[in-house]
A and B are shown apart, each in its own frame.
Chain A
Amino acid sequence: MSLNSADIKRIAHLARIEVSDAEADATLTKLTGILGLIEQMQAVDTTGIVPMSHSQDVTQRLRDDVVTETNQRELFQSIAPAVEDGLYLVPKVIE
């Protein structure tokens, strides 16, 4: 697996991070080093091993479907970049 600058730009787009051509080239070198490290995993035979997603064998807890939180819209929106009439403002998405 070897990446090129175009791959970096594609991944960056998926991650919603703008990268310039110069940044993509610099990132490519570092990412190639890290992916080389990750590649060591492929030497291990993992046939039949159950993936481990959590260290303890626990199940997801469920709670009653009732209201537990109070409305704190004003407080939460006081730290937003742009709000109007209780709504978050973003650029127009529907023409």
Chain B
Amino acid sequence: MINKSLKQLGAMLQAKEISSVELTQEYLNRIDRLNPEINAFITLDKDKTLAQAKNADAMLAAGKASAMTGLPIAQKDIFVAKGWRTTCGSKMLETFIGPYDADIIERFDSVGAVNLGKTNMDEFAMGSSNETSYFGKVQNPWDRSRVPGGSSGGSAAAVAARLCAAATGTDTGGSIRQPASLCGLSGLKPTYGLASRFGMIAFASSLDQSGPMAKSCEDMALMMNVITGFDKRDSTSLNREKEDYTRDLNKPLAGLKVGLPKEYFAEGLGADVATVVQEAIAEYKKLGAEIVDISLPNTMLSIPVYYVLAPAEASSNLSRFDGVRYGHRAKEYGDLMDMYCKSRAEGFGAEVKRRILIGTYVLSAGYYDAYYLKAQQIRRLIAQDFENAFKKCDIIMGPTAPSTAFKAGEKADDPVSMYLQDIYTIAVNLAGLPGMSIPAGFAQSADGKKLPVGLQIIGNYFDEARMLNAGHAYQQVTDWHIQMPEGIE
């Protein structure tokens, strides 16, 4: 049952073959058994979770159910949820109880989905390995000595170990797609502005976007129908008509023009990853896709641009954590300035502090033009690369990450090497485009472990339905997405 799709589980609930309480309890039992090691969840609240499941069963009995009613979903701990501890992976928010619901939480609640718990993540979503979490690192279910990726590492591990039916994530520079790639699942970052950022703890506001992490594209389409929509409480939310993201799932792919950016297959890409991605592209040819060579010449610049813009926005966003209204306050301090400095020194971890310092530096007097303005100018060049590419193709494909999951600790002490994990994902955030990662096969580690490889699919603005169509067609002829790691039975 744990490997069934959302649609299949939904059908079982509607047919009364199982109740939401029973289904939820099954996942809670699995979490009890497997989470102490995997550490995918930071906070569980079984009473709240089961109360929601009971409510879902009442909706089902009353004939008021929709596609997601009664399905247990894990929520990334970046989303504020009323009455739930919401930590964002930080000591700063270790005891913070959400006083309201994020838009995404409200949306899942309103369709009767069940909040299974809050998943582990890199502190304030800053990281690509889940190792910066104050609540401990997360194991990759495919090889427990390796990282699950990040920052949505807990959500990725929870889906991969089948500790939930699906999960939510957020993606500022690759934080949905890279862990989806490393843990062998499907993850989608929508076009910037489609999903509300209200109640999602801010990292870099011009880049942050939430999205689904699930077993398949069909599951993600159902979740996209819930997640997206206008929200007046988010000033960057786009007021567009609601779409049904399942509408094109079964369209044939014949004639689909797939662009392959040469920069995504250049130096830096692991040979094992390249092989798997090329095989996936060969499969797309069989499905009728036409392959077009394209170029995204400013790809390498996306990392320096990102490491100006994201820390700059983060240093501003994280100034709210001052130990006055909520969050950690130092036990001992002198004057007000000392209270700020000590509370923030104690509450933030090393990587978060580094990024705040970088952001503060690039925004400080005399440096604004050389860094922030320059980065925004190159950001436009990067967006123009995609604009030009989409004149020649319908969608873009390539690797999601340059390597498979790496060993815990391997890059933890070298920020620059960690940042290069996101070389293929960051430009998508800078341009505000939708990007997705789907399982494309496995590479073998030196000690014989199967390590998942993700295929990245980048679409034009608002082209998520076409991307999901492309992913779904591939998932009808391959079974990578339904393979499960060993030892999670």
Contact = CB atoms under 8 A, between A and B. Distances in A.
Given A19-B345, A33-B415, A61 B374 contact: no
Contacts of A51: 373, 376-377, 379-380
A22 interface: no
Contact of B357 (A15, A40, A82): A15
A50 B380 contact: yes
Contacts of B235: 60-61
Contact of A37 (B192, B362, B416): B416
Interface string A61-80: 10100000000100110111
A41 B206 CA distance: 20
Interface in B60-78: none
- Which of B304, B323, B342, B381 lies at the interface centre, i.e. has the most chain A CB atoms within 10 A of its CB? B304
B416 A53 contact: no
A24 to B, nearest CB: 10
B308 interface: yes
Nearest to A16: B340
Interface residues of A, number: 50
Contact of B353 (A17, A82, A91): A17
Interface in B417-442: 419, 430-433
A42 interface: yes
A31 B362 CA distance: 12
B380 A15 contact: no
Interface stretch (B23-31, B120-128, B284-292, B329-337): B329-337
A17 B360 CA distance: 11
Instruction: Name the prevailing secondary structure of the A interface residues.
Output: loop
A89 to B, nearest CB: 9
Contacts of B378: 41, 44, 46, 49
B303 interface: yes
B324 A40 contact: no
B406 interface: no
B11 to A, nearest CB: 37
- Which of B334, B362, B416 lies at the interface centre, i.e. has the most chain A CB atoms within 10 A of its CB? B416
Interface residues of B, number: 71
A17 B307 CA distance: 20
A35 interface: yes
A27 interface: yes
Contacts of B328: 81
B317 interface: no
- Which of B95, B235, B326 lies at the interface centre, i.e. has the most chain A CB atoms within 10 A of its CB? B326
Contacts of B308: 38, 41
B399 interface: no
B452 interface: no
B341 A79 contact: no
Given A50-B380, A51-B373, A27 B354 contact: yes
Contact of A79 (B99, B336, B374): B99
B390 interface: no
B375 interface: yes
8 contacts: A13-B341, A35-B361, A37-B303, A37-B307, A50-B380, A55-B433, A75-B99, A88-B325
Interface of B: 95-97, 99, 192-193, 206, 232, 235-236, 238, 300-301, 303-305, 307-308, 315, 319, 322-329, 333-342, 344-345, 348, 353-354, 356-358, 360-362, 364, 370-371, 373-381, 383, 414-416, 419, 430-433, 461
Given A18-B342, A52-B379, 13 more contacts: A18-B338, A18-B344, A27-B354, A31-B354, A37-B307, A38-B304, A38-B308, A41-B308, A46-B374, A54-B432, A55-B430, A78-B99, A81-B328
Interface of A: 8, 11-19, 27, 30-31, 33-42, 44, 46, 49-56, 58, 60-61, 63, 72, 75-76, 78-82, 88, 90-93
